[in-house]
Structure formats: C-alpha cells, structure tokens
Homo-oligomer: A and B are copies of this chain.
C-alpha cells in the first residue's frame, strides 16, 4: 500500500548467485559451484499477497522458506482467535526451523505484504548439506543464531518494561533493515500496532501511547506505518542497559 508493489518476474526468479541477500542467507560462504547446486533445489513461486499463508500450525513440515522480498510474521494461533506473534521476518531470514524436530509445523506463517519467497525442500537440502561441509556449517550457524535471538527475546519479555521493549523493537528493525541496504532511520513497518503489541507482550494501547510519547520526546517522527528515527543512539540506550537511575520496575 505504501511501498513498491510491482515486482518484476525477473526479480523473483533471480538465482542465488545473483541475489543480493546471499551473504545473509544459506549461500553464505559457499563456493560458486555449490551455490549452483543449492540453487537447483530451490523452488520459487509467484509472489504471495498480504494475508496469504506459507503454512499453518499442524501442517506437515516439508520445506523451509526464505523471504526474498517483503515480510512475514509467524504466530501461534490460540483457540479463541487470539494469537501470539512469534516473530517478524525480513528478506534473507529463514522460516520453519522450529518444525524440523516434529516434522510438523507448530506455528503459522503469514505474509504481511506482497512478498517473494524461496522454498527449500528440506529433505533434499539435508542430502545436499551432507556433501557440502560449508553448507552444513552455515545451517548450524543459522539454527544457532535463531536460538540466540530467542534468548534475547526471553530477556526482553522477562526483564524489560514497555518503553524498553518498544525501543528494542525499533532499534532491531533499524539494524536489520540497514543490513539489507535500506535506511536505518526511515522505514515503513509492515505490521499493525496490534501485532507489535502481541510480539512485545504489550496491549495495543500501550504501544500506541509509547509511539506518541517517543514522538513527543523527539526520538521519532511517526505517521501511521512510516517511522523516521530522529535519535537512534537514544533509542539504543533505552533498549539496552536498564535505565538504572529512573523507572526501575522489573529488576528481578
């Protein structure tokens, strides 16, 4: 709605070796001929649209998915329509790693905006990884990275207050977008306030009030989904070490 909706077929079909994300993604550190082999097992479908599912909780696990363009949220649907957002995924990030264990998806994945996705059939991938040590190593690294990020998130939910949580969310988005060649201080959020709240363990209203406050304090300029970060270092401070000499709730 706000951003480029037009994605040429060429962009979607681009091979790993020509993909600008290859240094964040599975091909990282691979020899060119191995990138070619990896490329040959990857399926690239037509772009998906806002609201489409990559998979739903309970479905059999067959493939990992990598965001090429756009963004995806993963969430655990609960009985009464409620949901816990587990993560937001940007280009180059892998989705479905939690399903390898049980061969069954425990969560659902839904695209937040028009997105191109690479599908990696897992069984074929595993065979390939067995014959390419650097691919196996990269896979271990990516799995490990995911675990490390989850630990950061546990810390956030266990110890940080609302202000610190939103600051951490914004600085995380900033740095991830920056790694992908986009502006670290001017971006569009593809998720709703409600989804941000669910992800951070906060009510929508709290998220909204914090956006307002950050704006009043000169940290941000916000217009709906468009965010301009005016004082990134202040946000980083706020997200990082506990304020230590201010609000000190939750120092347990």
Which A residues form the contact surface with B (CB < 8 A)?
A: 76, 78-80, 82, 84, 86, 97-102, 106-107, 126, 129-130, 133, 136-137, 139-148, 150-151, 153-155, 157-159, 197-204, 241-242, 244, 250-252
Q: Which residues of B contact A145 (CB under 8 A)?
A: 101
Asked if B157 and A76 make an inter-chain contact with CB atoms under 8 angstroms apart, the answer reads no
Asked if B144 and A97 make an inter-chain contact with CB atoms under 8 angstroms apart, the answer reads yes
Q: Which residues of B contact A102 (CB under 8 A)?
A: 148
Q: Which residues of B contact A250 (CB under 8 A)?
A: 201
Asked if A154 and B151 make an inter-chain contact with CB atoms under 8 angstroms apart, the answer reads no
Q: Which residues of B contact A146 (CB under 8 A)?
A: 147
A206 CB, min distance to chain B CBs, angstroms: 9
Asked if B155 and A76 make an inter-chain contact with CB atoms under 8 angstroms apart, the answer reads yes
A24 CB, min distance to chain B CBs, angstroms: 13
Q: Which of B80, B129, B130, B143 contacts A147 (CB 8 A)?
A: B143
Q: Which of B86, B143, B197, B242 contacts A252 (CB 8 A)?
A: B197
Q: Which residues of B contact A137 (CB under 8 A)?
A: 126
Q: Which of B99, B147, B201, B204 contacts A157 (CB 8 A)?
A: B201
Asked if A136 and B129 make an inter-chain contact with CB atoms under 8 angstroms apart, the answer reads yes
A-B complex: 5 closest residue pairs judged by Cβ atoms: A150-B150, A100-B144, A157-B157, A158-B201, A143-B143
Asked if A154 and B86 make an inter-chain contact with CB atoms under 8 angstroms apart, the answer reads yes
User: Provided the pairs A136-B126, A201-B158 are in contact, do residues A98 and B144 lie with their beta carbons within 8 angstroms?
Assistant: yes
Q: Which of B133, B155, B199, B244 contacts A80 (CB 8 A)?
A: B244
Asked if B158 and A252 make an inter-chain contact with CB atoms under 8 angstroms apart, the answer reads no
Asked if A151 and B150 make an inter-chain contact with CB atoms under 8 angstroms apart, the answer reads yes
Given A150-B150, A158-B199, 12 more A-B residue pairs with CB atoms under 8 Å apart are: A76-B151, A78-B241, A82-B252, A84-B159, A98-B147, A99-B148, A102-B148, A147-B150, A150-B153, A157-B201, A198-B252, A203-B252
